Amino acid sequence: MDLYLAYRALGQTWAFLPFQVLYLEQRGHSIGDALDLNVVLSLGTVLFEVPTGLYADRYGRRRAMALGGLIMSVACMLFVAGDSMTWYSIANVLFALSITLSSGADSAYLYDYLAETGRTDRYARLEAVATAAKAVGNLAAVLVAGVIFAFAPAGVFVFTGVLTSAASVASMALPESHHPGRGGSVSEDLVRASQTLWFTGRLRATVLFGAATFVLLRMSLFTDQPHIEQHLTTASAPQLAMAAAALQAAKEIGKVVVAAAAGLLFRTVKIRWLVPALAVALVGVYAAMSFGIGALDVVLMVLLSSLFGLFAPLMRALMNRAIPSSRDRATLLSLDSMARGLLFAAVSPVFGRAVESSSLHAAFAGTAWVAAAVYLGLAVYALTTPRLTVVPSDTGGSAISSYLS
């Protein structure tokens, strides 16, 4: 497990993320441009999610994880060498490919590794530990990157590339926990996974909840720069960078604390009770942020990001428990990520233009109302949808049976 935790701490660390908007602003681009790049990233994840999930299921989780780290390193170098939105867009496409190669494969790897020894009951807790390891890695990386950015802004991308290359080495040293099935065609694998998602009510509800919650958590990351500039109106560019680093460090500490607490919660609280609790917390935080009460904004920003520490292990536990067969595990996790990417690509430009045309806090107020309505609709959907699952047969067909939670 030590090597796996090292991979999670290094391979999914974007040390440049808190400084990306400021980096682009220094090169003559706007916040709207930065959000447009996130649309490119989101559409890229939608394009690559299923192919990379199929790749991980057919050729191995470990290989997919290693390849993802190397591609991230190449993308970081494009941000250093490029000087236009075209280059940055290509880099974001590669970011998307890297993310999709790792996002489902790492969770599938851990679940299958535990399944081989009959320890899947420990999965939720170990996923929380891995999430905490990732947050610790992010914290250390952001602190170092803050110093690097003050002297050489492009250096944060070089630093990230070095970390992800090291993660690739760590992942290749892991034992392969899943023996990929190479029988059948790619189209058959995709049809089987799609049938499973279509007929499994619990799985569909989980995917929809994850997409809505991911957008709310992810959107907050790209309002950090406007928040900082609003409160530090006389600060210089290096001071703004250090403030961004300090804020991100506080967020990562919050993620570590929440992820560690999640590990304990999973021992005593049924996971299904944590789902409505997370939804209520997100709506409440966005509603409170709409008032724009000085230092309280900073506390709420940290709290909002810290909830990633609960969201990541919670969603992976829900997804892995709802997936009926390990054969298509990475593919189904990729379909979940694709749903998140589609929704984020649709919402991101709308939110960005709302901030530019109105105000940051008015956009938060509108988001709170929309989020409350969405979660209410999802609750009704989950309670009224029959829980059915498709069990693929060895002959390529499928049989429908009742799914018992």
Distance of CA 212 to the CA centre of its chain: 12
pTM flag (> 0.75): no
**Cα 136 to Cα 249: distance, rounded to the nearest angstrom:** 10
Q: How confident is the model over 121-178, as pLDDT tens digits?
A: 788 888 888 888 887 887 788 888 888 988 888 898 999 989 988 988 888 888 876 5
**Cα 119 to Cα 111: distance, rounded to the nearest angstrom:** 9
Check if the beta carbon of residue 61 is closer than 8 Å to that of residue 331: no
Domain boundaries, the chain: 2-176+186-402
What is the number of other CB atoms lying within 10 angstroms of the CB of residue 90? 17
Q: Along the 405 residues of the chain, how does pLDDT read in single tens digits?
A: 678 888 888 876 677 877 887 888 888 787 777 778 878 887 888 888 888 888 888 888 888 889 998 999 999 999 888 878 889 999 999 998 998 888 778 888 888 888 877 777 788 888 888 888 887 887 788 888 888 988 888 898 999 989 988 988 888 888 876 555 555 667 777 788 888 887 787 888 889 999 999 999 887 666 666 667 666 767 777 777 777 777 777 887 888 888 888 878 888 888 888 899 999 999 998 999 888 777 787 788 888 888 888 898 898 888 888 887 777 888 888 888 878 878 887 887 788 777 777 777 788 888 899 999 999 999 998 888 765 554 444 444 444 443 333
Q: Positive or negative CA dihedral for 80, 86, 90, 91?
A: positive
What are residue 244's phi and psi, to 5 degrees? -65, -40
**Cα 255 to Cα 133: distance, rounded to the nearest angstrom:** 10
Beta-carbon contacts of residue 125 (< 8 Å; ≥ 6 apart): 263, 266, 267
Check if the beta carbon of residue 75 is closer than 8 Å to that of residue 88: no
- Please tell us whether the domain made up of 2-176+186-402 is placed in CATH 3.40.50.300: no
State the pLDDT at residue 145. Answer: 87
Q: Positive or negative CA dihedral for 68, 70, 73, 78?
A: negative
Beta-carbon contacts of residue 15 (< 8 Å; ≥ 6 apart): 138, 141, 142, 144, 145, 156, 159, 160, 163
